[in-house]
C-alpha cells in the first residue's frame, strides 16, 4: 500500500510585463489531486476547471512522472484520460493550475483514508492489540489538506478464533464548513468461530455532520446494528440467520427505520441432493408514511447428476404489502446444466412468474457449447424467449464458431437475431487473427447490424497490426472505419514506432487520426515523438505532442525536456523544461522550468523537494510569472 502526502505553495502575485504596471493578485490557483485507479482509463474528473494549459504534471504512486503521451487532458472539462488503465492499487498525483473565475469546481474532490499504527500491546499469550491513529483527508484549496475525520482505533485478537475492532473519529472544526450537528462516527465489530458455529456482530453510528463518512464508505446520519450467525446442527443439517436494523436521521430526528430478518435451513438429504428452506422479511417505516413490508419464502432443491451435471428446482412466494394492501407473486424455476461429453455442455432454464389476477411471465433460455478436433473448433449457440403480459414477446437466436486450423491462425464469426414483436434486428460479426514470424500479429474484425428488411443500421471494419522485424524495432498500426444507416462515419487510423538502436537510446513516434476514447470518437489528429537515453548515472528525456483539427489547423503543442542525475543509490537531482502552446479560442503559451531533488531515506520512505517557475504569454501579449514549490513524502507499508 502506498501513502502519499503532498502540499503545494501557490504563487501570491503576478508581475505585469507592461511598463508602469502594478502588482496584481494572481487569478490562477495551483491544486493537487490524488486519483485512485478504478481499473479503467478514465476519464477521471479533477477538482477544478478550467485547467491552464502546460501546467499539469502527473506522478504515479508518488515516484515516476508520466509523459504527456501517457494521458490526455480536457482543459475545459477538467478531466484526464490515461492511455493505459489505472489499476486499483495505483494512485496518480495530478498537479495543475486552474482559473478560479472559470466554471468552478469540476466535481467532489479526491479524498482518502489514513491509518498509522501507534503501539502494539500483548496481554498474556492469547490477547494482542494494536492501537492506531486514523483519519481521512480531502484536498480542497491550494496549500490546504483539511482532515475530514481524525480519531483512534483499536484492533484486538483474542486467541486464534476471536477478533474485536473499534474505531471512533470526529470531524475537525476546520472541515465542518459551518454545518452544525453531530460530527462523530463510531464503529464496533466482533467475530468469533468455533468448530460448529460462526458469529459476527457490528454496530455503526455516524452523525449527520460527520464529513468523513464517504471516505470510510459509510452513510451519514445512521445507526446500524448487524448480527449474523451460522450453525452446523449435524453433519447434514446447518442453519444461518441474519438480523439488521438501520435508523436514518434527518434534522436530528429519526427519518426512516429499516429492519431485515433472514433465516435459512440447509439439509443434505443424500450425498447428491440438497434441500434449502429460506425466509426473508423486510420492514420499512417512516414518520407520516404507511409501513411497507416484504416477506418471501423459498424452497430450493439441488441435485447432482453424477459427473454429467446438476439440476435445480425452486419455488418462491413473495408478499409485498403497504398499509392494508398486499400483492402476492409466485415464481417457479427449473435449471439443468448437463455435460454431454467432455467438450459438449448444455444449459437450459425456465422461469415462470405469476402475479395475482395476471397472466404469467415466462422466460426460457437454452445455451450450447461444443468443441471438436481436440478443441481446434468451438461452437456456441443460444436461444432465449421472453413472454410478458401486455408487452411484445422477445426472442433471441444466436450462433458463433471459432476455429484454429493452423498454428498461429484463428478465425471466428457469428450471427445473432433479436425479434421484438414484428421488429427484427440482425447482428453479424467475424474476426481473423494471424501470428507469423518476425513478431508479426494481424487482427481483423467485422461487425454489421441490419433490420429485418436488410437495411443497414451500423457497420464497423477494423484491422490492427504489429511487428518486430528486427531487434530493437517495434511497429504497430490500426485502422477502423464506421458506417451508420448508409452514412459513412469518421474513421480511425494510427501508426506507432519504437526504435532502440543501442542499449542506452530509445526513440518513439506516433500518428493517429480520429482516436477513440471510451467508445467516443474524437475528431482530431495527434502526433507524438519521444526520446529517452540512459547513460548510467545520467538520464535524458524529450517528448513532443501535437494536436490538430480535421483541417490540419494546430490546436495545441507541447515540448518537454528532462534530465535526471543519479548522485547515488539514494539521491537524485532532476530538472524539466516544458513549453506548451494552445491556439484555440484563447491562445496561451506557457513555459515551465522545474528543478527538484529526491532522496530515499529507507526502503519504505522517499522525500522529494521540487520548485517550478511558470511564464505565461496570453493573446493580448500580457506576461505573467508564477513560482511554485512542492514537498512530498512517500511512505510504503
Q: Give residue-wise pLDDT tens across range 583-599.
A: 766 677 888 888 888 88
The order of strands in the sheet holding 91-98 is 29-36, 91-98, 57-60, 64-65
Q: Is residue 127 part of a domain?
A: yes
Most confidently modeled range among 32-46, 190-204, 569-583 = 190-204
What is the Cβ-side half-sphere exposure of residue 382, based on CA atoms within 13 angstroms? 13
Q: Would residue 507 count as lying in a domain?
A: no
Which of 549, 512, 504 is CA-nearest to residue 528? 512
Average pLDDT over residues 414-428: 91
Residue 120 is predicted with a pLDDT of 78
Evaluate whether residue 159 is within a structural domain.
yes
pTM to 2 decimal places: 0.59
Query: Which is more confident, 534 or 10?
Result: 534
Is 203 inside any structural domain? yes
Q: Read off the C-alpha cell for 382.
A: 443460444
Residue 184 domain flag:
yes
pLDDT(100) > 70: no
Average pLDDT along the chain: 82
Task: Decide if 118 is inside a domain.
Answer: yes
pLDDT digits (tens, 9 = 90+) for 202-234: 999 998 888 878 777 788 889 999 999 999 999
CB–CB of 273/280 below 8 Å?
no
- Helix or strand run (H / E) with residue 155: strand 147-158
The answer to whether residue 110 scores a pLDDT higher than 50 is no
Percent of the chain residues topping a pLDDT of 90:
38
Does the residue 134 lie in any domain? yes
C-alpha cell read off for 434: 494471424
pLDDT in tens, 513-546: 988 877 778 888 999 999 999 888 899 999 999 9
Q: What's the CA gap between 231 and 573, in Å, rounded?
A: 62
Average pLDDT over residues 58-77: 76
Interatomic CA distance for residues 427 and 450, integer angstroms: 7
Residue 155 lies in a domain: yes
Q: Residue 356: is its pLDDT beyond 70?
A: yes
| Residue numbers of the domain that contains 163 | 113-232
Is the pLDDT score of 128 beyond 90? Answer: no
Q: How many other β-carbons are positioned within 10 Å of the β-carbon of residue 438?
A: 8
Question: Is the confidence at residue 509, as pLDDT, over 60?
Answer: yes
Report H helices in 539-610.
none
| Residue 178: pLDDT over 60 | no
Residue 176 has pLDDT above 60, yes or no: no
**Rounded Cα distance, 396 and 392, in Å:** 13
Residue 144 has pLDDT above 70, yes or no: no
The domain total for the chain is 1
Q: What is the pLDDT of residues 595-635, one digit of tens each?
A: 888 887 766 667 788 887 878 776 555 566 677 676 766 65
Summarize the confidence of residues 460-480 as an average pLDDT: 91
> How many percent of the chain have pLDDT more than 70?
85
Dihedral angle of Cα 17, 19, 25, 29, to the nearest 10 degrees: 0
Distance CA 23, CA 452 (A): 71
Q: What is the pLDDT of residue 603?
A: 62
Report pLDDT for 57. Answer: 85
Amino acid at each position: 500500500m502506498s501513502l502519499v502526502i503532498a502540499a503545494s505553495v501557490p504563487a501570491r502575485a503576478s508581475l505585469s510585463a507592461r511598463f508602469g504596471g502594478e502588482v496584481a493578485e494572481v487569478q490562477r490557483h495551483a491544486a493537487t489531486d490524488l486519483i485512485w485507479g478504478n481499473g479503467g482509463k478514465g476519464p477521471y474528473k479533477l477538482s477544478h476547471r478550467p485547467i491552464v494549459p502546460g501546467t499539469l504534471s502527473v506522478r504515479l504512486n508518488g515516484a515516476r512522472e508520466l509523459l504527456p503521451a501517457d494521458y490526455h487532458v480536457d482543459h475545459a472539462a477538467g478531466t484526464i484520460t490515461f492511455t493505459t488503465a489505472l489499476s486499483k492499487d495505483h494512485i496518480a498525483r495530478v498537479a495543475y493550475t486552474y482559473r478560479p473565475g472559470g466554471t468552478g469546481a469540476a466535481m467532489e474532490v479526491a479524498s482518502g483514508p489514513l491509518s498509522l499504527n501507534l503501539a502494539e500491546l500483548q496481554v498474556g499469550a492469547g490477547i494482542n492489540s494494536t492501537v492506531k491513529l486514523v483519519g481521512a483527508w480531502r484536498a480542497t484549496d491550494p496549500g490546504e489538506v483539511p482532515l475530514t475525520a481524525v480519531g483512534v482505533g483499536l484492533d484486538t485478537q483474542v486467541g486464534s478464533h476471536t477478533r474485536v475492532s473499534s474505531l471512533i473519529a470526529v470531524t475537525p472544526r476546520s472541515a465542518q464548513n459551518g454545518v452544525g450537528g453531530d460530527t462523530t462516527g463510531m464503529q464496533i465489530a466482533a467475530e468469533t468461530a468455533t468448530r460448529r458455529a460462526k458469529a459476527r456482530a457490528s454496530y455503526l453510528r455516524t452523525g449527520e455532520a460527520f464529513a468523513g463518512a464517504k471516505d470510510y464508505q459509510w452513510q451519514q446520519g445512521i445507526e446500524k446494528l448487524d448480527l449474523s450467525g451460522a450453525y452446523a446442527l449435524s453433519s447434514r443439517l446447518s442453519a444461518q440467520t441474519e438480523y439488521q436494523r438501520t435508523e436514518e436521521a434527518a434534522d436530528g430526528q429519526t427519518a426512516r427505520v429499516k429492519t431485515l430478518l433472514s433465516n435459512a435451513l440447509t439439509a443434505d438429504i443424500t450425498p447428491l441432493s440438497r434441500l434449502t428452506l429460506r425466509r426473508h422479511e423486510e420492514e420499512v417505516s417512516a414518520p407520516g408514511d404507511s409501513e411497507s413490508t416484504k416477506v418471501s419464502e423459498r424452497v430450493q432443491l439441488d441435485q447432482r447428476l453424477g459427473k454429467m451435471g446438476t439440476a435445480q428446482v425452486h419455488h418462491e412466494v413473495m408478499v409485498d404489502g403497504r398499509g392494508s394492501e398486499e400483492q402476492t407473486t409466485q415464481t417457479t424455476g427449473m435449471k439443468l446444466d448437463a455435460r454431454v461429453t467432455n467438450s459438449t455442455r448444455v444449459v437450459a432454464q425456465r422461469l415462470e412468474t405469476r402475479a395475482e389476477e395476471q397472466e404469467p411471465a415466462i422466460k426460457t433460455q437454452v445455451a450450447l457449447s461444443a468443441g471438436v478436433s481436440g478443441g481446434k473448433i468451438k461452437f456456441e449457440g443460444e436461444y432465449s424467449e421472453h413472454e410478458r403480459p401486455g408487452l411484445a414477446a422477445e426472442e433471441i437466436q444466436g450462433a458463433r464458431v471459432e476455429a484454429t486450423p493452423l498454428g498461429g491462425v484463428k478465425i471466428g464469426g457469428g450471427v445473432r437475431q433479436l425479434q421484438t414483436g414484428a421488429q427484427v434486428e440482425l447482428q453479424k460479426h467475424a474476426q481473423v487473427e494471424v501470428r507469423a514470424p518476425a513478431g508479426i500479429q494481424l487482427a481483423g474484425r467485422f461487425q454489421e447490424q441490419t433490420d429485418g428488411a436488410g437495411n443497414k443500421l451500423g457497420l464497423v471494419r477494423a484491422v490492427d497490426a504489429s511487428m518486430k522485424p528486427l531487434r530493437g524495432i517495434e511497429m504497430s498500426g490500426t485502422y477502423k472505419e464506421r458506417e451508420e444507416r448508409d452514412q459513412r462515419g469518421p474513421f480511425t487510423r494510427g501508426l506507432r514506432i519504437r526504435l532502440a538502436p543501442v542499449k542506452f537510446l530509445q526513440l518513439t513516434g506516433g500518428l493517429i487520426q480520429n482516436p477513440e476514447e471510451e467508445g467516443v470518437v474524437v475528431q482530431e489528429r495527434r502526433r507524438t515523438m519521444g526520446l529517452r537515453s540512459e547513460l548510467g548515472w545520467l538520464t535524458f528525456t524529450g517528448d513532443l505532442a501535437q494536436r490538430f483539427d480535421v483541417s490540419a489547423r494546430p490546436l495545441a503543442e507541447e515540448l518537454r525536456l528532462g534530465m535526471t542525475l543519479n548522485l547515488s543509490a539514494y539521491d537524485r537531482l532532476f530538472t524539466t523544461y516544458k513549453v506548451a502552446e494552445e491556439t484555440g479560442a484563447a491562445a496561451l503559451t506557457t513555459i515551465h522550468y522545474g528543478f527538484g531533488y529526491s532522496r530515499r531515506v529507507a526502503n519504505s520512505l522517499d522525500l522529494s523537494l521540487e520548485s517550478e517557475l511558470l511564464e505565461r504569454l496570453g493573446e493580448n501579449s500580457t506576461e505573467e510569472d508564477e513560482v511554485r514549490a512542492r514537498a512530498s513524502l512517500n511512505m510504503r507499508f
